[in-house]
Amino acid sequence: MANRGPSYGLSREVQEKIEQKYDQDLENRLVDWIILQCGEDIEHPAPGRTNFQNWLMDGTVLCKLINSLHPSGQEPIPKISESKMAFKQMEQISQFLKAAEIYGVRTTDIFQTVDLWEGKDMAAVQRTLMALGSLAVTKDDGCYRGEPSWFHRKAQQNRRGFSEEQLRQGQNVIGLQMGSNKGASQSGMTGYGMPRQIM
């Protein structure tokens, strides 16, 4: 973690708002899923934001997680280093993020390396892991291990096929979005410039 002093004023308010987005229940569910998914001897971290951050910070757990979502022999990160050097750990986090994007996680759902490394936005880390879990459940390729109810299944494409006859019939219908002229008439209209007749 970086040696930064406390923030004050607007910076502190912004940081507090970011920290309020962190969900403790979600942390517990993500930890359970990661341990079950990796299937290795991964120690369970103590509860809390900083413990969760320290557990993921070296990148080894994240790399094992993304590798476990691929069939054996097709892992995106072939060599996982357990180095204590900061740049190696940050490189592993970057490898995880790149592999998650290739897996299908949208770039808007992916956190920045410093969000995890410096603990700036652990809620963003949770969002990325949630998006990854949802994608794994949706793919349903046999690599996901865990409760399917832990993550939302993403919407799938639902293409519709219409015959030429149905398409031709649809061209004759005026949708209500276009408006309706039922009940409208020009009765009682007078020509322009005529005075109003009040009886």
Measure CA 67 to chain center: 19
Per-domain residue ranges of the chain: 10-150
Per-residue pLDDT, 153: 75
Q: Write the single-letter amino acid at 184.
A: A
Per-residue pLDDT, 107: 92
Per-residue pLDDT of the chain (199 residues; tens, 9 = 90+): 455 666 667 777 776 777 767 777 888 888 988 898 888 778 888 888 889 889 989 888 999 999 988 888 888 888 888 888 888 889 999 999 999 999 989 999 999 988 888 888 888 898 999 999 889 888 878 788 877 778 777 767 777 888 888 888 877 776 666 666 666 666 666 666 666 667 6
Q: Write the single-letter amino acid at 17.
A: K
CA–CA separation, 86 and 51 (whole Å): 18
